[in-house]
Amino acid sequence: MDPLNPYDLTAFRPTTGTLEAWNEAYVRVEDYLRAHRLHNRLHQSRLIQLVLAKAARRHEQDPAAVPATLAAQEMDALMDRWFEQVLGPTALPKDRVAIAGRVALLLSEGAERWPYSFGDLNHIPEDFATAMRRSSVVAGPNMNVSSMVPREIDLGVISEAAGETLETMEKWPLLRMLMLWLVFIGALAVIFYASR
């Protein structure tokens, strides 16, 4: 985009891929941002255009790639860099930083309270970064190893009676058939009297 001409409408025009594919990529990124509770349309548009422009440059190198997939990858990369920058140095592995960042964003209500800071690598207000760091999830205490002695489970009198009945029915198939017919005739009788 030309900084001298704020009305430059040629800022994002992909040279490869179809219009439908890029529209689908746009919708996917927009849905992704809404899932993170970013409802500010102006900031959404800026982020979407930034992500799609990066995806379009990658698509020029690999025209067989799906634009929506490239856009999703670019959005993930942007979010990973942003979470690393907002949360600061941490002992978490790289894939866990994004998870901790998403939880912290949700808990601090960052997208609602600081909508223009969402995804912005250049302007992160200190109060927003502090709220995100405070909301970051920390694992509980270390696991203690203990031993459990196996015990028999007492299921009570009813389960014992049911178990004995089922065992008896297994031994005598004729009794099982009789019981099933009695249940069936009883169900028909209930339906008959209920429908009258």
Specify whether 28 is located in the same domain as 125: yes
- Total structural domains within the chain: 2
The predicted structure's pLDDT at residue 106 = 75
The predicted structure's pLDDT at residue 94 = 75
- DSSP string across 154-171: ---HHHHHHHHHHHHHHH
Specify whether 92 is located in the same domain as 183: no
Kindly state whether residue 34 falls inside one of the protein's structural domains.
Answer: yes
Range of the domain at 186: 160-194
Kindly state whether residue 179 falls inside one of the protein's structural domains.
Answer: yes
Specify whether 35 is located in the same domain as 119: yes
d(C-alpha 103, C-alpha 145), whole Å: 29
Chain centre to alpha carbon of residue 5: 40
Specify whether 166 is located in the same domain as 119: no
Specify whether 94 is located in the same domain as 175: no
Measured at the CA of 70, the angle between CA 65 and CA 72, to 5 degrees, comes to 145
Kindly state whether residue 129 falls inside one of the protein's structural domains.
Answer: yes
Specify whether 67 is located in the same domain as 107: yes
Specify whether 100 is located in the same domain as 35: yes
Mean pLDDT, each 10-residue run in order, the chain (196 residues): 51 76 88 80 83 88 88 85 76 73 74 71 73 64 73 78 78 82 94 90
Give, to the nearest 10 degrees, the angle between helix 94-108 and helix 126-135: 110
Specify whether 116 is located in the same domain as 54: yes
Specify whether 105 is located in the same domain as 165: no
The predicted structure's pLDDT at residue 175 = 78
Specify whether 111 is located in the same domain as 184: no
The predicted structure's pLDDT at residue 140 = 56
